[in-house]
Structure 1
Amino acid sequence: MRNKYAVIFVFIVALVIIEKENNIIARVSDKLTTRQNPHTPLKPTVSSMDPLKPTVSSVDPMKPTGSSSSSSPSSSSSCPPREPSTTVQPPGRREVTLTEAPRRRRDVGKHILLLAATRTGSSFVGEFFNQQAGTMFYLFEPLWHVERRLVSAPGGTNSSVSSRTYREVLQQLFLCDFSLLERFIEPPPARHVTAALFRRESSASLCEEPVCTPAVKDVFERYHCKERPCGPLNFTLASLACRRKAHRAIKTVRVRQLEALRPLVEDPAWTCGSSSW
């Protein structure tokens, strides 16, 4: 009987001790939390100024205006450069410094070069790009004219010259510049207009408005548009249509040395341009 009461007494004492220890631990924990997170007032933060809003600074109206003390922050990238600030002071008013926002890079488009050997289905694959005429400017075998002229040149042309010529023409075409291609077309275009572009009908962008001009009577065009009657191709209009499209694709089977195309990818001009490879 005594043992029973002794066990009960020890159990009650243990509960009391555990409760006191819990209270002590809770107090110590509260003190540590208070030290780690002191209640100090927050310092106001200064947000960066919107470059699109003018910065207004008060000056003495009697003081001549020669220069502004504010300067636009330098951009972290050298491409594109930020325009300098312009200081304007109407008579009898405060000096207003207008800082133009940095030029925003246009939406980056893609330059797609479809390379293949002959009779490998490249025309079929290229048609997938051609069907995206709303956003894609597609050219079918523009180097056909270049190869024809180089092969027919007196004495022929070595492979290194041909590869370099192909690369230069492709670079200009991806920039929507047809002037170099015009030099290889026979007969030569008159005022940037030709009826002899190879397989024009395979490029939907060259057979839609505004590139598709009214048809001209008594003008034979072997590779004419089949969806609608169009006049001879105007390269000036084609260049404008090319710049309006987000992406550009060219299909060719003429380039046989891929090493010759490396400068197109490594050209630093593309890093600041509107397109990427």
Structure 2
Amino acid sequence: MRALPARRIATSALCATFLLGIAGPVAVAADHDATRDARATAAVLAPVPEADALLAQATSLGDVAGVLKPVTDLLTTALKADGGKLPAADATKLGDAVKEAIAKATASAPAAPQTPPAKTPAVPQTPAEPKAPTVPQTPAEPKKPEVNSPADPEIPAAPPAILPALPGAPALPAPGVAGRVAAPDLRADALKALQSSVDTLVQAAVAGDATALGAAAKKTVSGLVNFVAAVAVGGALPAPNLPGLPKPPTNVAAQSGSGG
């Protein structure tokens, strides 16, 4: 009779151990899966570092590519034509493609940066004009008895003090719009100059003037270089870091705004 309870206790302990052996790994695996799912969700929802700046750079590069392709197509077709002469329809089609690309690049350009105006030194306040000192009145001299003597001369009054007029304060310069001054837009200037050179190139190609076409082609290539440089120095693209690449000249910004 005593062996039965002990056997029951041993059986119960064995069953409990068996259940724990099965449920333990399952619980650990479930907890591991939940942690992995949470990490995956956090990785999906985490924003890309500096995503806005990278998108702006990608857009600028896309604008450069969108302008380079139609312009180089026009240059290649015109320079390969016999005598540099193109049919009017072909020249117009190529020129319209360039015009459309330039208009698209102009519309997608970021707003021109604005710089605060130079600080104007404070104008010192004009000191108040000092008052003239009060001249004390001369006491009247007592009358002398009339002894057939001429009358004493009257003492003239002291003349008022005259001070020179102080110059007025200079007028302050009027501030710009909302206190800021717009910086020059090199990108817009480069696109305008490029469009002008392309128009000249199309006219020379239609006329079949080889000399004028060569000059217009050089100006158009320079306009493309100026546009790429304006985008590069405008702050939208990172500085080149290719090993062995020479440093750009310090007057790149001025050259890019010259319009070729």
- If each structure's strand is expressed as a fraction of its own residues, which one has the higher value? 1
- If each structure's helix is expressed as a fraction of its own residues, which one has the higher value? 2
Larger Rg: 2
The TM-score with structure 1 as length reference comes to: 0.25
Select the structure with the greater relative contact order (CA < 8 A; seq sep ≥ 6): 2
